[in-house]
Amino acid sequence: MTDRIELTGLRAHGRHGVYDFERAHGQEFVVDAVLELDLAPAARSDEVTDTVHYGELAEKLVAVVTGEPVALIETLADRLLAVCLAEPLVAAATVTVHKPEAPIPHTFADVAVTMRRTR
């Protein structure tokens, strides 16, 4: 599949982490989602019903990030993938969860987990 919808840099505050203070105070998470699907029907019809409404997808992804806390960003990424693959037109999805404020005692730019799943 060569057609993709990319939603990148989606920011939301979540309470995910291994440590109690991460769950108590929370932090910003950044999500990138890449959906693989056939976009030809939408290109021909010019109808949003023939594609994935990325505004609605963003709302669903934010609900996961702001929802029930998990310890690992791997678990969070898996839950976000489930949301992406729940879209009937999606053949495969890749999700990256960035945790730029991770409690690492050294200077770093980012830590992220990327997972890809197909139907």
Q: Tens of pLDDT along 14-28?
A: 999 999 999 999 999
Q: Report the C-alpha gap between 13 and 3 in whole angstroms.
A: 30
Q: Which of 99, 112, 118, 119 is catalytic?
A: 99
Any catalytic annotation for residue 60?
Answer: no
**Residue 1 above 70 pLDDT?**
no
Domain of 41: which CATH number? 3.30.1130.10
The total number of structural domains that make up the chain: 1
Buried b (16+ CB within 10 A) or exposed e, 96-116: bbbbeebeeeeeeeeebbebe
Q: Tens of pLDDT along 56-92?
A: 999 999 999 999 999 999 999 999 999 999 999 999 9
pLDDT > 90 in the chain, percent: 97
79 close to 14: Cβ distance less than 8 angstroms: no
pLDDT value at position 86? Answer: 98
11 close to 30: Cβ distance less than 8 angstroms: yes
Range of the domain at 14: 4-118
95 close to 31: Cβ distance less than 8 angstroms: yes
